[in-house]
Amino acid sequence: MDIAAAEPSSPLEPWPDTVEWQPVSRDLIWVELIRWGASAAMLLLPLGILWAIFGIWPLGLAFVVVLVLMLWRFWAIFRAVRAWGYAERDHDLLVRHGLLVRRLSIVPYARMQFVDVSAGPLERAFNLSTVQLHTAAAASDARVPGLRPAEASRLRDRLTALGEDRAEGL
């Protein structure tokens, strides 16, 4: 295999073609839409009521601006969820996400201190979980949201076992 052909075309290219990316569940789109929609509604509802009562044009303008931003964010959520992915390699786990600012986190198994699995009420309603990886570095926050509980448990167990195996060799 030609090494040059396997490498990314640019050092800024965060999605290597040489790994098999696993996507997160598309149900994460609904979780994010509901989260964002609830937040936006808490802003839109008072603006709409005040605009209806007082008829002041700046309130109407604010309402329209918030509505347009909300619709844009809904569209961005679809793309953002599709950007999430993870790949298990021999010595590390890759986690990618982001639209405008694409981010690739590489977490060596030997550096993992513990793996956390969580599921909030909304995630549980859609049968999803999030796997969070913790390392000694405070800035590392590699997480994989939108996993089915069985896949989250499998990934947690595998990462824990690989982390223990790799740490023994240090």
pLDDT in the model for residue 114 = 86
pLDDT in the model for residue 5 = 47
pLDDT in the model for residue 72 = 92
In this structure, what token pair is assigned to residue 157? 């167990």
pLDDT in the model for residue 39 = 87
In this structure, what token pair is assigned to residue 30? 């609904």
Q: Which residue type does 150 have?
A: A
Q: Please count the other Cβ atoms lying within 10 Å of the Cβ belonging to residue 94.
A: 20
pLDDT in the model for residue 91 = 87
pTM of the model as a whole: 0.80
Q: CB-based contacts of 89: which residues, under 8 Å, 6+ apart?
A: 19
Q: What is the dihedral of CA 99, 103, 104, 110, to 10 degrees?
A: -140
pLDDT tens, 114-159? 889 999 999 999 999 999 988 877 666 689 999 999 999 999 999 8
- Give Cα separations from 126 to 3, 28, 30, 39, 149 (angstroms): 42, 8, 8, 19, 10
- CA nearest neighbour of 130 among 109, 164, 156, 96: 156
Spans of the chain below 70 pLDDT: 1-15, 138-141, 165-170
- CATH T-level topology, domain 85-169: PH-domain like (2.30.29)
